Amino acid sequence: MDQFANASVIARAPGRLRIAIAGLYHSERMKRRLEAQLARHPAVTEVVASALTGRVLLLFRPAVPADTLLRELGLAVPPAADDDPPAPPRVIPQAKPAMSNRTLYPPWHLLDANEALASYTSSARRGLSAAEAEQRLRHGKNIVLPPRQRSSFEILLSQFQNTPVVLLALSAVVSLLTGALAETVAIGAVLVLNAAIGFVTERQAEATITSLSELVDDRVLVLRDGMVMLILSSHVVPGDILVLAPGTRVAADLRLLQASGLRIDESALTGESLPVTKNVAALPADVPLAERDNMAYRGTAVASGTGRGLVVGTGGHTEAGAIEALTRSTERPLTPVQLQLDRLGNQLVAVSTALCGGVLAIGLLRRQAGGALFRSVIALAVAAVPEGLPAVATTSLARGLRQMRARQVLIRRLHAVETIGSISAICLDKTGTLTMNQMSAVAIRTVRQQFVPGQDAITGRKELDRLLQVCVLCNEAGTHEASAESPLQSSATERALLELARRAGLQPGRLRREYPLLGSELRAEGRNYMYTTHATPDPRRRLVAAKGSPADLLALCDHYVQDGQVCACDAEARERILFQNGQMSAERLRVLGFAYAEVSPEHAPEQDGVPPLTWLGLVGLADPLRPGAARTIERFHEAGIRTTMLTGDQAGTAYQIGKALRLNDGGELKVINSDALDRMPPELLGQAVNQANIFSRVTPSDKLRIVKAMQAAGATVAMTGDGINDSPALRAADVGIAMGSGTDMALSVADVALKHDRLDSLLDAVALGRTISDNIRKSVHFLVSSNLSEILVVLGAVAWRGESPLTSLQLLWLNLLTDVLPAIALTEEPAEQDVMQRPPRDPRANLVGNADMLRYAREAGVIAGGTLSSYAYGLLRYGSGERARTVGFDTLVLSQLAHALFCRSEHQSPFAADLPPNPLLTAAIVASSLLQGAVHLLPGLRRRLGLTALSSPDLLAIAAGALVPLLVNARAKPYSSAATKAKAERSTSLSTTAPVSLAASASMPGAGAARPAP
């Protein structure tokens, strides 16, 4: 037959081969030729070639050796990638990376594994030598530069690029054109001073926010000098051989050399939500990035399986590096709060402009003097500018980042600082979040007996010996995993089973050598068990080892072992096994079933599927609750946050754990099993997620569906997790929260990481998030109401007397004293005492609503009334002139400083004894008061501002005009007990939720999920 070059075997099994053949991709002619020629061989039973994939499925008689058949068919299969390449590769032209316009490397997916290895003079068996790796590291570390930080000049320039500053600048121009040189210089000085304050504040905040993208140097497994070792990911070099395991992040671009059930989540790169199955066969040159199954890319994560790959690109010379190079030229987007504050500032400027236009038009109609009229207009424009507004959000967010970091809560995305305080529902992954993730086997049940490891002898019985063997063989943990510090980490369950076998005297490494692994099928959507196939010392037999959900595994069994005898698994035995499962679940144990089968090679699972199994027994594993977890759940409920537990455990186990944690918040504890979830229509699911406390037997897609249903119902959802299976839901949640000890995959998609795995630190983060939101509102409250009071004072006086009682210079000085410093100081307010006893704020609501604006306007009217009253006193005593304006000016200054105290709490009196101190605000008010006093003591400055000396009656009038508005506004403040209101709202929410039938679920107590022991 003809020779077909560059054929490579993707997968092989007795009687079955899947082969990739160069030239077949998109060639219908070769497809027909292959099918016709390969089918002629007498051993071949079926040939299916595909021009879409470039692969051929070959079915043949199992008795014929695959290598012999390949030679006879004329398929020139190259030597395995484990062999060192004997010759240099063919020359291949340079190609552009799929996501970049730069030429970085050849099309590695086109090369076979040996050619790729030869390109870097590397070895699949030994990797690079330490000396060679050190030499290559000199050419650059495996890092991608973080997003470019704004320069000092750019930050300074940005201080003059917002609408309020533009309005001030226009006021300065108008002052210059009207000959008011002093006002022009003063406005310019204020612009410079505001820019200086904004620059210092924003520069510090920028440094804090930029720290979000600080490089975290993970450790990765690499093959060097023939040994697998753990190194920093930044020290990976081209030509290294990386070892891939479930849950690890891919540290560089790789040409895969080995792939055993390898599936990689590439959503971070391609947006594809489902993991991609990988293989090692060469591909045609024009295959798009998302379909390059023989490549793994930096920043993606291993979802399942194992593999090895040759590093072909590091740092910026990767697909991810090409994308990140684009982001460095892109400005960081504003957060929602920053955008709202920008809009608010623009709205205030628009209102001010309209008022200025109205005052100008009225003045012209009344034929007022041009100079006085323009001075009033300029004064009104100056009064409306909220100089401190741009700094509020930046300062608050930066402060929140620093405080959360101090509490070991690492924020990875800036929006999370705002959103975390608005969480109204939290989905808690059980393992590793609510429990310690420190599994230990504490109970074993066969059909008729029970054993306690450590107390009872668990060897010497056929069923127990075989069960312990299955614990070792049907296990994803490596035999080296003696502790949680192992570099290749599997689940705590797998490690606990391995440890059980060790304690019983088995040697896992030796056992696995006696029973080599031939194939495996891991747990997957719709299959709650795994099984492995092994060779045995008897070449005529194969061992199938299985473990998983007791009910699902029992359905595959037709026999069980008891006292060394194999018995038919009748209805009585099945009932007994399910009863045992319910008893163990009621003890809060994770329960796994174990079974096996011995079959001939031709009846192994890869040929006929899972054969009938023989039941061995149940193993119960205990995972202790985290200390204080129940109290943490209670505090979430007090804060108006609904808690829902998501777990892969059986309903009975989940119910008992939820009961211990008091997830029901005093109501009925409701559990929904995944099978009921699958049958539930979307409209019913929306009701169910508002009522169920626990979802059991959930898969990754179930978790994602639950999170999205909660969001559709209007909740702001947080999701906690630490494993690969949590990653889709972590990404979809409004705030994804990963445990610091979680898998790389979970950490890579989360918005927040809890460094010490303490769930109560999340409570601290929620409290901080709420405090940040509160303090931004307090600062905005102060700035808007203060500036409105200035506008009302000017408008009132112009309407009353036709001129402003305050000059533009006085208003500039006033804003300099009362805008920036008190507003920033209010962002440092301590948390209010009830911050975690009230419902969360809706993040979609406006920062300042219509009701808020009406309240601010009312307060501003009271302050303006006090100021105009003092001004009227001055007019009556001294007539129109500087002395009357001085009284009005000093009154407004003190009124606004006093109003800063009023804005410290939305529902507590400024005179409340239990209001926590704010030293920064105290310092700001004292400093501003001293500066105002200094104005009167410095003759030059006093003359420039148009002020005069004050008499004792004047001081009394000023004090009355400043304090009376504070008392009036304090009297009108809507005081309430937030804690009482929170409880009432939660109670109302529970009582008005539409009932949902959960009868379809077998997860409720009494429905057969977890029956008590007799």
Can you spell out the DSSP letters for 72-125?
A: HHTB-PPPPTTSPPSSPPPP---B--TT-SS--B--GGGS-HHHHHHHTT--TT
Give CA angle at 586 (580, 589), nearest 5°.
85
Quote the pLDDT of residue 308. 94
C-alpha to C-alpha distances, 964 to 144, 204, 628, 819, 872, nearest whole angstrom? 60, 39, 49, 21, 16
pLDDT tens, position by position, 730-781: 888 999 998 877 766 677 778 888 887 788 888 999 999 999 889 989 998 9
What band does 78 get if pLDDT is binned at 50, 70 and 90?
Answer: very low
In this prediction, residues 600-616 reach a mean pLDDT of: 81
For residue 989, what is the DSSP state?
Answer: H
pLDDT band at 228 (very low <50, low <70, confident <90, very high): confident
Residue range 410-436+626-757 forms a domain whose CATH class is alpha beta
Range of weakest confidence among 360-374, 469-483, 935-949: 360-374
Res 500: pLDDT: 94
**What are the DSSP calls for 789-835, one per residue?**
HHHHHHHHHHHHHSS-SS-HHHHHHHHHHHTHHHHHHHTTPPPPTTT
Say which DSSP state 732 is in: H
The residue extents of the domains of the chain are 7-73, 108-145+215-327, 334-402+772-972, 410-436+626-757, 440-622
Name residue 193's amino acid.
L
Over pLDDT 90: what percentage of the chain?
32
Please identify which of the residues 253, 293, 429, 649 carries the catalytic annotation. Answer: 429
Region 965-986 average pLDDT? 65
**Mean pLDDT, range 943-966, rounded to an integer:** 92
> Looking at the predicted structure, is the pLDDT value of residue 107 above 80?
no
Using CA atoms, how far residue 987 sits from 422, 691, 813, in Å, is 19, 13, 51
Helix (H) or strand (E) holding 720: strand 717-721
The pLDDT value recorded for residue 237 is: 93
Look at residue 957 in the predicted model and tell me its pLDDT. Answer: 95
536 vs 395, more confident: 536
Predicted confidence band at 1 (pLDDT cuts at 50, 70, 90)?
A: very low
Lowest mean pLDDT segment, chosen from 166-170, 592-596, 660-664: 166-170
Angle at 617 between CA 616 and CA 619, to 5 degrees: 135
How do 7-13 and 717-721 pair as beta strands? unpaired
Residue with the bigger pLDDT between 365 and 983: it is 365
Count Cβ atoms within 10 A of the Cβ of residue 1012 and give its class: 0-12 exposed, 13-18 middle, 19 or more buried: exposed
In this structure, whether the domain defined by 334-402+772-972 belongs to CATH 1.20.1110.10 is answered with yes
Q: Which CATH number fits domain 7-73: 3.30.70.100, 1.20.1300.10, 3.40.720.10, 2.60.40.10?
A: 3.30.70.100
Instruction: Give the pLDDT score at 249.
Output: 84
Convert the pLDDT of each residue in 936-951 to its tens digit.
888 888 888 889 989 9
pLDDT tens-digit readout, 900-924:
999 999 888 888 888 889 999 999 9
pLDDT value at residue 487 = 38
Mean pLDDT rounded to a whole number for the chain:
80
pLDDT tens-digit readout, 236-272: 999 999 999 887 889 999 999 999 888 888 876 765 6
Tokens of 364: 């012209």
- In order of 2, 879, 980, the CA distances from 72 in angstroms are 10, 117, 84
Tens digits of residue pLDDT in 375-409: 667 666 666 666 666 667 777 877 888 888 888 88
More confident residue, 369 or 425: 425
Domain 108-145+215-327 in CATH 2.70.150.10? The answer is yes
Quickly state the pLDDT bin for 328 (edges 50, 70, 90).
Answer: low
> Residue 981 has what pLDDT?
46
Work out the average pLDDT over 455-476: 87
Percent of the chain with pLDDT strictly greater than 70: 80
Higher pLDDT, 551 or 43: 551
Query: Strands, DSSP E only, in 266-333?
Result: 276-277, 295-296, 301-313
Interval 623-645: pLDDT, tens: 999 889 999 999 999 999 999 99
| Domain topology for 440-622 | Calcium-transporting ATPase, cytoplasmic domain N (3.40.1110)
Single out the residue of 315, 317, 322 nearest to residue 269, CA to CA: 322
Listed in sequence order, the DSSP H helices in 366-490 are 370-384, 389-406, 415-419, 462-473
Q: Is 734 a catalytic residue?
A: no
Which of 204-208, 413-417, 675-679, 969-973 has the least mean pLDDT?
A: 204-208
pLDDT in the model for residue 967:
93
- Plot region of 181 (φ>0 → left; ψ -120 to 50 → alpha; else → beta): alpha
Q: What is the pLDDT of residues 554-585, one digit of tens each?
A: 999 999 998 889 999 999 999 999 999 999 99
pLDDT tops 70 at residue 533: yes
Indicate if the pLDDT at residue 536 is higher than 90: yes
**In sequence order, what are the beta bridge partners of 301?**
249, 265
Confidence of residue 325 (pLDDT cuts 50, 70, 90): low
Please report how many Cα atoms fall inside a 13 Å half-sphere around the Cα of residue 898, on the Cβ side: 26
Res. 84: pLDDT tops 70 = no
Q: Is the pLDDT reported for residue 222 higher than 80? A: yes
Residue 993 pLDDT level (bands cut at 50, 70, 90): very low
